[in-house]
Amino acid sequence: MKELIINSAREAGKLLMGKFERGIRVEFKSKFDLVTEADRQSESLIIKRIRNQFPDHDILAEEGDYGCSGSDFRWVIDPLDGTTNYAHGFPWFAVSIALEIRGRLELGVVYNPYVGELYFAERGAGAFLNERRLQVSTIGTMEHSLLATGFAYNHRKCKANNYDYFARFQKESQACRRPGAASLDLASVAAGRFDGFWEMMLKPWDLAAGILLVEEAGGRVSNFDGQPMTLDSLECLASNGLIHTEMQEILQQGCRPHDDLRA
């Protein structure tokens, strides 16, 4: 399974690179939510590989509905995280694949093919960037932290749109970034490049592999109250652990998402 998850991510990344910057045709799922043929082809490549070996496993992926048989094994797939970046030729995107066994994340891969960085985590065995073992950063105050976030596609319509949080964190941290691929934001927390990350209304495929990476690199992931989060949580706060409470204090004061905001 470890080989399968890594090889599938690498192959899908190769496919994405083959189409990158070649005038890819864009379709709109909604006014701001894009999809390209690269998203769909990457997804079918990954699913084909998984189904070849494990036809009975469940699959949750962004671009299709593959049903749910109640298997103990579920693969959670974002075939192209950072589609907007990809469609505009901005080279920051990834393939994200995770494996849950009986509802627990066991394996995760986030692969950025443009820079050739493959992040891998296995529960209990650590997190790695290519061959290097990962450890979250040791920065202990928000004042000195580099943070990352993102905005859901419905941010123009939602009250919980993240604008106020962004302004607050921008003032109280060293700086905030909005790179455009949540899986890579989480992977970057695991790698100690970002000290913290928050976002609202992410989907299971944005989160799954990244959560395991952060945890296996010694970081902490929760909702905005500090409670454990599931893949269906509307709030994600990930950090090196040391600045978690400081970030939580800000996140508890703002406009937070409710179930009816789920797109």
* Interface residue list for ligand IPD (CB under 6 A): 78, 81-84, 150-152, 180-182, 199, 202, 206
Residue 62 makes contact with Ca ion by CB under 5 A: yes
Residue 106 makes contact with Ca ion by CB under 5 A: no
Residue 11 makes contact with Ca ion by CB under 5 A: no
8 A C-beta contact, residue 95 and residue 42: yes
List b or e across 150-177, with b for residues whose CB sees 16 or more CB atoms inside 10 angstroms: bbbbbeeebebbbeebbeebeebbeebb
- Smallest CA-to-CA distance from 79 within 68, 70, 66 is with 66
Partner from ligand IPD, Ca ion, none binding residue 176, C-beta < 5-8 Å depending on class: none
Options 11, 43, 78, 199; binder of Ca ion; rule CB under 5 A: 78
Residue 43 makes contact with Ca ion by CB under 5 A: no
Options 81, 100, 235, 246; binder of Ca ion; rule CB under 5 A: 81
Taking the complex as a whole, how short is the minimal distance between the CB of residue 205 and ligand IPD, in angstroms? 7
Taking the complex as a whole, how short is the minimal distance between the CB of residue 213 and Ca ion, in angstroms? 15
Taking the complex as a whole, how short is the minimal distance between the CB of residue 207 and ligand IPD, in angstroms? 9
8 A C-beta contact, residue 142 and residue 173: yes
Taking the complex as a whole, how short is the minimal distance between the CB of residue 135 and Ca ion, in angstroms? 25
Long-range contacts of 249-253 (CB under 8 A, 24+ apart): 250/165, 250/168, 250/169, 250/172, 251/165, 251/198, 251/224, 252/224, 252/225
Taking the complex as a whole, how short is the minimal distance between the CB of residue 175 and Ca ion, in angstroms? 23
Partner from ligand IPD, Ca ion, none binding residue 237, C-beta < 5-8 Å depending on class: none
8 A C-beta contact, residue 10 and residue 79: no
Count, residues near Ca ion per rule CB under 5 A: 5
CB closer to ligand IPD out of 199 and 242: 199
8 A C-beta contact, residue 121 and residue 128: yes
CB closer to ligand IPD out of 1 and 35: 35
Residue 100 makes contact with Ca ion by CB under 5 A: no
| Dihedral sign of CA atoms 71, 56, 43, 217 in order | positive
8 A C-beta contact, residue 24 and residue 138: no
Partner from ligand IPD, Ca ion, none binding residue 217, C-beta < 5-8 Å depending on class: none
Taking the complex as a whole, how short is the minimal distance between the CB of residue 151 and ligand IPD, in angstroms? 6
Taking the complex as a whole, how short is the minimal distance between the CB of residue 127 and ligand IPD, in angstroms? 19
- Rounded to the nearest 5°, which phi and psi values hold at 213? -60, -50
Residue 122 makes contact with Ca ion by CB under 5 A: no
- Rounded to the nearest 5°, which phi and psi values hold at 102? 50, 45
- Pairing state of beta strands 220-222 and 196-200? unpaired
How far apart CA 97 and CA 69 sit, in angstroms, is 19
CB closer to Ca ion out of 78 and 246: 78
Residue nearest to ligand IPD (CB): 150
Binding residues vs Ca ion (CB under 5 A): 62, 78, 80-81, 206
